[in-house]
C-alpha cells in the first residue's frame, strides 16, 4: 500500500452507525494467536478497525524491535498516528491488537480513548508457554524464545490487574484444539453485544447527542480540531 494512501484514508461511517465509540483491547502473549482469534470472533454487524503498530512495521519488511526498526520508527509512527486520528475523528469501532505486557501502556491507551468518549473492553487470550513458543517459531520472522518467555511471564502477571480494571471482560482459551465452535460463538456474542450496546461513557453520550442535534458527522472541527486529536493520539505511540 502506498504511503500517501495510508495517510489519506477516507471513512464513510456516521453518527447513527453501530459500534461508534467502542474499543476492544486484545491481550495475550506473543504467539497466543490474538489476530487469529479476532478474525474468528469479529461481530458480523460491526467491522472494527484494527489498531496494531506491528502491522505498520511489516509493511516495510521489519519487525518491531527487530533489525532495521530504528530507521523506520518515525515513518511508522506518522502513519499509525494519522490512521488512528482519522478513526477517532469518525468515532469508528476499534480492535486494539498489540503488546499487552505493559500495564502502564495499556492504561495510557485506554485513557486516551476514554477521553474522546470511547467505552473499552478486553478479550484475554489464554495459551500455554509451550504453545506460544511453538507458534512464534513458525512465523516468517521467528522471535527469540527468551523474549517470548519473558513477555509471557509479564502478560500472565498483568492478567489479574487487567481483569480488575476492565468492567467488560472475557477470556478465550486458544491452545491446540481449544478454539471450538462453542468458544467462538460465545466470544462472537460477547463482541457483538459490546459493539452494539449503547455508549456508557458520559463524554461519548454527550458528544453523540450534540452531534445529532447539529447534524455533525465528525469530531473535527466542532468537538475537537483534527490537529488537537493528533496531538492527543501522539501519546499512544511513544515507543
Q: Does 13 score more than 70 pLDDT? A: no
For the ranges 39-53, 62-76, 89-103, 211-225, the one whose mean pLDDT is highest:
211-225
Three-class SS state of 96: strand
**What values do phi and psi take at 201, rounded to 5?**
-60, 120
pLDDT of residue 180: 94
Of the candidates 200, 189, 126, 197, the residue with the CA atom closest to the CA atom of residue 163: 126
Taking residues 160-174, report their average pLDDT: 94
> Are the beta carbons of 8 and 154 closer than 8 angstroms?
no
Q: Band of the pLDDT at 65, cuts 50, 70, 90? A: very low
pLDDT averaged over every residue in the chain: 85
pLDDT, greater one: 5 or 59:
59
Q: Does 187 score more than 50 pLDDT? A: yes
- With a CB cutoff of 8 Å and minimum separation 6, the contacts of 224 are 116
The residues with which 171 forms a beta bridge, in sequence order, are 124
Of the candidates 141, 122, 144, the residue with the CA atom closest to the CA atom of residue 28: 122
Q: Band of the pLDDT at 8, cuts 50, 70, 90? A: very low
Q: Band of the pLDDT at 58, cuts 50, 70, 90? A: low
Which residue carries 455533525 as its cell? 216
**Each residue's pLDDT tens digit, 92-143:** 999 998 767 789 999 999 999 999 999 999 999 999 999 999 988 887 766 7
Q: Does 6 score more than 70 pLDDT? A: no
Helix axes 103-116, 145-165, angle to 10 degrees: 50
pLDDT, greater one: 185 or 239:
185
Q: Band of the pLDDT at 211, cuts 50, 70, 90? A: very high
Domains and CATH numbers, the chain: 19-237 (3.40.50.300)
Q: From CA 156, how far away is CA 139, in angstroms rounded?
A: 22
Q: Does 218 score more than 70 pLDDT? A: yes
Q: Band of the pLDDT at 194, cuts 50, 70, 90? A: very high
pTM comes to 0.86
Which residue carries 501519546 as its cell? 235
The DSSP line for 98-139 is: S--S-HHHHHHHHHHHHHHT-EEEEEEEE--HHHHHHHHHTS
Of the candidates 182, 175, 198, 139, the residue with the CA atom closest to the CA atom of residue 41: 182
From residue 155, how far is each of 30, 159, 233 by CA, in Å? 9, 6, 24
- For the chain, percent of residues with pLDDT exceeding 90: 58
pLDDT of residue 54: 62
- Asked which of 7-11, 61-65, 186-190 is least confident by mean pLDDT, the reply is 7-11
Amino acid at each position: 500500500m502506498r504511503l500517501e494512501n495510508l495517510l489519506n484514508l477516507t471513512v464513510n461511517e456516521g453518527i447513527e452507525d453501530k459500534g461508534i465509540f467502542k474499543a476492544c483491547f486484545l491481550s495475550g502473549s506473543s504467539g497466543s494467536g490474538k489476530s487469529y482469534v479476532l478474525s474468528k470472533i469479529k461481530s458480523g454487524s460491526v467491522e472494527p478497525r484494527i489498531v496494531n503498530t506491528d502491522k505498520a512495521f511489516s509493511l516495510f519488511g521489519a519487525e518491531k524491535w527487530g533489525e532495521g526498526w530504528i530507521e523506520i520508527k518515525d515513518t511508522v509512527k506518522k502513519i499509525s498516528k494519522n490512521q488512528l486520528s482519522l478513526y477517532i475523528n469518525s468515532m469508528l469501532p476499534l480492535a486494539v491488537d498489540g503488546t499487552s505486557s505493559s500495564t502502564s501502556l495499556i492504561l495510557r491507551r485506554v485513557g486516551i480513548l476514554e477521553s474522546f468518549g470511547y467505552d473499552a473492553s478486553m478479550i484475554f487470550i489464554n495459551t500455554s508457554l509451550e504453545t506460544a513458543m511453538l507458534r512464534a517459531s513458525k512465523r516468517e520472522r521467528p522471535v527469540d524464545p527468551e523474549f517470548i518467555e519473558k513477555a509471557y511471564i509479564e502478560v500472565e502477571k498483568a492478567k489479574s490487574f487487567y481483569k480488575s480494571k476492565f468492567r467488560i471482560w472475557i477470556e478465550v482459551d486458544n491452545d491446540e484444539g481449544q478454539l471450538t465452535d462453542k468458544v467462538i460463538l460465545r466470544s462472537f456474542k460477547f463482541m457483538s453485544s459490546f459493539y452494539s450496546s449503547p455508549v456508557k461513557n458520559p463524554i461519548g453520550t454527550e458528544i453523540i447527542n450534540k452531534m445529532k442535534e447539529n447534524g455533525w458527522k465528525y469530531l473535527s472541527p466542532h468537538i475537537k480540531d483534527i490537529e488537537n486529536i493528533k496531538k492527543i493520539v501522539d501519546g499512544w505511540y511513544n515507543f
